[in-house]
Structure 1
C-alpha cells in the first residue's frame, strides 16, 4: 500500500517539473515531509492539468451517503471493476506528486536470541537524486444531496429548504493512489507499492482512454531507487519537519 509520502520540493520546482501553476495556498503549505490520509494535498487532475489543486487524500465516490472516510489506495488489478473506482478510472485521473514514500518493516526477531519487541521500523523509498515523481491517482467530486421539503410536509415554507445536516455542506474533492506489486527494491519492505509513472507517461495517464492506460499500471523498474530507515517520529501525522527524512 501507500499510506504516507513526502513532497519536499519548493513551489517553483514543482511548477517547473510539471508545467503547472502552483496556487498561493499550496505554496504556503510546502514542503511536506509526512503526507497522510485525510489531509488536503496537491494533485494535478485531467480536468485542469495546468494548475495544481488541493484534494483530500481518501477517495469518496460521488454516490456515497456522506463525505466521511475514503479509500486511500486502489489496487491496479481491480481498479476498473470496483464500483468505488470504476467511474474515476474511466475519466477522472490525476497525478500525485511526491519525492519519496514510507513503508514499515516489523522488527520482531533478534538475529542471535530470536527475541524481538514487535516494533515497526519506517523506511523512506526515494530516487537516489531525490527527484520529484508522479504517482498514478484517481479523483472524485462528492456533492451533498439536497432533500427538498415541500409545502405538503410543513404546510408552509420554502420548497427548497434543506435538512439541518445538509445545511452548509459543500462539495468534497478527493483522490486515491493506485498500487501494484512491488519491484525488487520495495519487495523486502512491503507486498504493495504505489504506481510510479515515468515522466513520458504522465500525460498519457491523464488523457488516454481506459484501454491505453491499463499498461501503465505496472511496477516501476526501481532504477536509481534507494531505501533507508528513518525516525519513528514519522508514525505520527502531527510530525512534519525536514528531520523526518534524515537517515537513522
Structure 2
C-alpha cells in the first residue's frame, strides 16, 4: 500500500518536471492521509490543485477516506469505477514509506525513492463530494407563539479528495510490502490523464526496480505531526 509519501522538491523543480504551476507549495517529508496535497488533474493540467488524501465517492452519504485503490479491481469497485473512467490524476511525490516487521518493539519504516530523489508521478483518482444538507432544528417559540425552525448551517461546498492506485510490488518493494504505488513513466502521464480507460489500465504495472532504492528511516515518521528533513535520512 502507500500510506505516507514525501514531496520536498522545490516549486521550481516541480513546475519544470510537470509543466504545471505549483504556486507556493511547501516541502513535506511526511505527507499523510487527511492532509491537503497537490495533485494534477485532467481538467487543469497546467496547475496543481490541492485535494484531501482519502477519496470519498460522490454518491457517499458520509466521508470515506479511501487512501488506496487496488489496480486489479479499480474498474469494478463501485467506490472507484466512475473516477477511473472520468477523473484520473497525477500525485506528485519524490519518495514513499513502507513499514516492515523486523521483530522489534515497532515496525521499521523504510523510504523508497529514486537514487537522485527526483520527483515522479503516482497514479491517482479524484472525486468531488457534496456533504449532505444539514437538517433544520426546532428553536422553540416563534414571535407569535409558534415553533420556529433554525436556519441550517451553510456548508463549505464540495470536498475534493484523491486516492493513490497500488499494484504488485517490484523486487525492491517486495521485501517491504506486498503492494506498492503505481509509479508512472513521464511519457505515460498524458495517457493516464486523458487516455481511454483501456489504455490507462495498461499502465497499472509495477515500476522497474532498477532505479529505486530503499533504506530504513527514523520511527519519528510514524507520527503525521512530525515533518522534518531528518525523516528521510538513513538510520541504523
Question: Do they superpose with TM above 0.5?
Answer: yes
Query: Are 2:53 and 1:57 equivalent residues in the alignment?
Result: yes
Which residues of 2 match residues 169-180 of structure 1 at below 5 A? 169-180=156-167
1:76 is the counterpart of 2:71? yes
Report if aligned partners of 1:106, 1:118 keep a CA contact under 8 Å in 2: no
Q: TM-score, normalised by structure 2?
A: 0.90
Cα pair distance change 1:79/1:233, threshold 3 Å? same
Give the aligned partner of residue 90 of structure 1.
85
CA contact (8 A) 1:147 1:162 kept: no
Identify which range, 231-240 or 220-229, moves more after superposition.
Answer: 220-229
Q: Kindly indicate whether residue 226 of structure 2 is the aligned counterpart of residue 230 of structure 1.
A: no
Tell whether the 8 Å contact from 1:90 to 1:210 is kept in structure 2 after alignment. yes
Matching residue of 2:169: 182
Structure 1 residues 243, 147: closer, same or farther in 2, change over 3 A? closer
Deviation of 1:224 after TM superposition, in Å, equals 1.2
C-alpha spacing 1:226/1:148, structure 2 compared with 1 (3 Å): closer
Preserved CA contact (<8 Å) 1:147 1:163: no
Q: Offset at 1:42? A: 0.4
Could you tell me which runs of 5 or more consecutive residues in structure 1 were left unpaired when the two chains were aligned: 109-116, 150-160
Whether 2:121 is the aligned partner of 1:127: answer no
Aligned length: 224
Q: What does 1:179-218 correspond to in 2, within 5 Å?
A: 179-218=166-205
Equivalence for 2:145: none
Residue 162 of structure 1 deviates from its aligned partner by 9.3
Specify the SS of the correspondent of 1:119: coil
Cα RMSD (Å): 1.8
Contact 2:7 2:29 survives alignment (8 Å): yes
1:144/1:188 CA distance change after superposition, 3 Å:
same
- The 5-angstrom pairing of residues 11-22 of structure 1 reads 11-22=11-22
CA distance in 1, matches of 2:112, 2:132: 41
Provide structure 2 residue ranges, at least 5 long, that are not aligned to the other structure.
Answer: 137-148
Residue 144 (structure 1) shift: 3.0
Q: CA deviation at 1:118?
A: 4.3
Is 1:5 aligned to 2:9, yes or no?
Answer: no
Q: TM-score, normalised by structure 1?
A: 0.86
